[in-house]
Amino acid sequence: MEYHKCRVCNNTYETHTVNDSKSRHPLSYARYLGFCNSDCWGMLTRKEQSVEHLFAYVYGDTRKRNNLKYIIKS
């Protein structure tokens, strides 16, 4: 169990990196990517979500671990 800051809203949330990284549940995988809940993950467009998935496939959760914030374009 680890605690991280959400990349969108900066709330602290709990994640289980080993289980969440292999999860087929969208919210668990979103936590692995650095998003605390479905609201924050849902702020991304489908294209942005796909980019996050591709980056995680190659580099894992380095964006979350390096505290890279996600700026929502409105």
pLDDT at 41: 92
Which residues, 6+ apart, have CB-to-CB distance to 4 below 8 Å?
A: 12, 13, 15, 34, 64, 65
Distance CA 20, CA 65 (A): 14
Which residues, 6+ apart, have CB-to-CB distance to 12 below 8 Å?
A: 3, 4, 5, 6, 36
pLDDT at 74: 56
Higher-confidence residue of 46 and 68: namely 46
2-41 confidence digits (pLDDT tens): 899 999 999 999 988 777 778 888 888 899 899 999 899 9
pLDDT reading at 42 higher than 60: yes
Task: Please give the model's pTM, rounded to 2 decimal places.
Answer: 0.83
Domain ranges of the chain: 2-65
Question: Residue 61: how many CB atoms within 10 A of its CB?
Answer: 19
